[in-house]
Structure 1
Amino acid sequence: MTLSLEWLDEREDGGGEREEKWIDLLEKLLVIAGRKEEVERGIVTLTLTDDEGIRELNRQYRGLDKPTDVLSFSLIEGEQAEIRYEDEYESSEEGEDGWEDEEKAGDPFSDLLGDIVISVPRAEAQAEEYGHSFERELGFLFVHGFLHLLGYDHGDEAEEKAMFSKQEEVLREAGLLR
């Protein structure tokens, strides 16, 4: 398996030809960022939403009742991360001796790196505010979210400098300049 992107568009008017071009760009960024971070395999799920959708997630998971631009939900944070799944995945359907196909015997979620949620209206507004293309802003938010999935943070000045430097390297390699 390689590094791959799965995506959903939860916006009422989303999912058109324009968004398919975005996904091509984001898949390219995922490959570049994965190579730089030595992540060779895994699945990243991206959800495109609106301000109301991301506001609800922000309120539910961070206690902040306001929209934001990007949220990340990592399934690999920390060495002791525990992923729980339903009993149906814990036992074999092939009888008491286990799976006949050994590939099915492992954790069914082991390839999931996590979820990234981006507010498209927020990305559009920020692109205009910062004076660069929408594609650059979308790419910035996506790479930012991906690095969060890998455990990067920007809680202090040193962490922020390191994380933002990595983001800019990926964007620069993809040709997404300011």
Structure 2
Amino acid sequence: MTINIEDEIQIRIPGTDLEDLAHKIAEAALDYEGCPYEAELSLLLTGNTEIRRINREYRNIDRATDVLSFPMLEYDSPSDFSWAEAEVQDCFNPETGELLLGDIIISMEKMREQAKKYGHSEKREFAFLITHSMLHLFGYDHMEPDEAKEMENRQEAILHSLNILR
């Protein structure tokens, strides 16, 4: 698993190696969803100003948000990786052979705000945002109540498998 991390803001969680945690969560999500490939993604850690700019530019929503996901793949159904090998040139990094999942952008300022608001640790909030975004990269969404419930159940199962609890 390759995670290309760019850290623009340098907000740290005391006692937590963010890169190591991101790798553990991404690997757990890949395993939970049964991805048969090694994978690659990009992770940008930024602040509210930059995520607001990106949100405005790509989604026409002029406000800061906690996390944005930009999947590289389109699925017939979430986590259905069966078609990927037929599209090798579009789906895999030609140098590493890893499946290109997409980009995750996290506002570390919003992560900190939400951890305080929800009364849990920053580590748990960061882990939740990575998990949530990984599911988006696998084709899940939460626009409808049944989709939201499915994502919630998967998020909790992945976090629970790593003993990252509320």
The one of 33, 52, 55 aligned to 1:37: 33
AA partner of residue 33 (structure 1): A
- 1:139 aligned to which of 99, 117, 127: 127
1:172: how far off? Answer: 0.9
Q: Which amino acid aligns with 2:132?
A: H
2:82 alignment partner in structure 1:
none
| Aligned length in residues | 148
- Work out which of the two has the higher radius of gyration on C-alpha atoms and give 1 or 2: 1
CA contact (8 A) 2:67 2:104 kept: yes
**1:107 aligns to 2:103 (yes or no):** no
8 A Cα contact 2:11 2:108, kept in partner: no
Sequence identity of aligned pairs in percent? Answer: 39
> Unaligned regions of 5+ residues in structure 2, if any?
77-87, 93-98
Structure 1 residues 60 and 19: alpha-carbon distance in aligned structure 2, compared to 1, 3 A threshold: farther
Counterpart for residue 98 of structure 1: none
| Alignment partner of 2:158 out of 141, 145, 170 | 170
C-alpha separation in 2, matches of 1:166 and 1:56: 30
Alignment TM-score, normalising by the size of structure 2: 0.83
Aligned residue in 1 for 2:18: 22
Any unmatched runs of 5+ in structure 1? 80-105
Question: When the two structures are superposed, what TM-score results if normalisation uses the length of structure 1?
Answer: 0.77
